[in-house]
Structure 1
């Protein structure tokens, strides 16, 4: 199916949103290039989940749903303990997980595999400058020679370079929500239960759990309250030191987990923040996923990104080269849906690490009551949804009529 007259599209970012968009654009006949700063696909990261008919419907249309089901972790229960290891609260796997939970790194591999045959991937490079003209966008890269594309899509995350270059400085669009989070991998030695066990003290949480499919591997996750910090996002040693400082002096397994962080090759560290961009496009440049409407944790950002990639590609394919109309329809269809999903991210930090001892006691006391927990489980199933066009059928109908 070709609806694009070989429109050339540069996608910045090869995490989740970028490969998902490359998959659809390649299927519709666009000439797609994906540029990624990292030297290869990023591994590690938290598990991500999909829930509701909107998410699962798009994955099914992509042809990846059954493949992803084979990677399903089954969810991640979490037990909160005090510094002596005494259990305070247990939340079942379906409290935080959706209908399908997958390690982020494995999801990225699947999407890359399904898009790679129809897209050019360039790793170890990044966009340095953008200049819009009447005919396209001239792009300067950090390493490669300049090139011109018909369209540029920023799928490069909460700290998007494309957004900074084309829309303005990050502080205009990204709001810090008062917490930082980190994840890393470590050997489990077969001694850890699956799911997570977490130490909670006011304003801080440190958890660890074995991989449900490999008991010799484990993942650590921590979260701490803090005003906005100044640090180099590309300096992992500096980020590790911020974590060590935040959790110094705590008991339980914290000292050994901090030692494992020293050896972790690919830790993830970032603020819990959200992005709110008044318009998702300017001229021939548009934003996708976290760059447009991100929420670091708890905002269903991965599912939103996959849905948005489907819509953006479909609207571009239907538009017959009218990118302005396509970008407007893309944003009009999804903005309210994305905002609804984002709301969960505002509550993640205060829920996982209340800032006061009284807040911790209140959360634990409420959720130790079965009827309260059941009610929250019911509310968790009421996810935002949006009815999506069947772009494949629309495009097939158009071509049949034209023939």
Structure 2
């Protein structure tokens, strides 16, 4: 087979036939590739343009065999960048393969007599160059998309930390592949002393099939988890990738649009967690309501009033009196019964009622602590509440 380029006459014939060859290539794609038939009309027209540009670039390359082909701009520049999103790399390889097969099938009819081998060789060499150019386009797109996703992810997490709640936030997350409605929870802890804290967190979350967003704010590592019903298990696994110190889990909310609520609770819990040195890791933000309220978190103070103080007040004086007596006695039920002149079983019954209302046990160290803080704050706020 000769190494000489095709003659000028052959190239002119190829140039004149480029439109028809591109049309035949697209028709063959339509026959052989199911996914191509399902593409929208505008995307199919882009593929036709790319095929025509590829044949035109082959002609120009043959006319100047010493010039390095600029295929990224000449061929793939014929279609918008959105085509890279719409057509996967493997699918693009299939498109190139079909186009090359059509070119090779028509070499004998396009080439001048005696020029067939030269055109065959040119098509073979050019198809290799197109393959390299395709890999470059997709690699560049992946690199740019990765950088863009990282910036977008940082914007989303930063917005949550600042308490922003808007439709734009959900739109940004959707661009990162998040579902519109999915349970979401936010974790806050110390950033680990590693080169890439994002990578380990992502691996841990995705190993449990969870969606994840990661952001670093000074010494704080903020992680958003979603896409799983059992987010508690995911949070426990991801917490292992944080730095030393407490890891606080905000409440689970019903979508990214409300993730700011989870983030606010987790951040407040992280700031107050040092007041509970023995806290589990991770610890729920709601388990730190007392510490958060003492640290000045208005959300925690309101939660203690609504979840603890007011339900006890509404239950009647006997339940509240019993809780106070048990707290004052350090959890001694017999001493509490004597102090309020009732049987110990009555004390037990009233404590059970109080636990049903508040979720807290007056005989449990953490429960009694939270009850004491809630009742103390209620007395301080009684001029502004129903408390009297």
TM-score interval, normalised by the smaller of the two chains: under 0.3
Which of structures 1 and 2 has the larger relative contact order (alpha carbons within 8 angstroms, sep 6+)? 1
Q: TM-score, normalised by structure 2?
A: 0.19
Higher strand share goes to which structure? 1
Higher helix share goes to which structure? 2
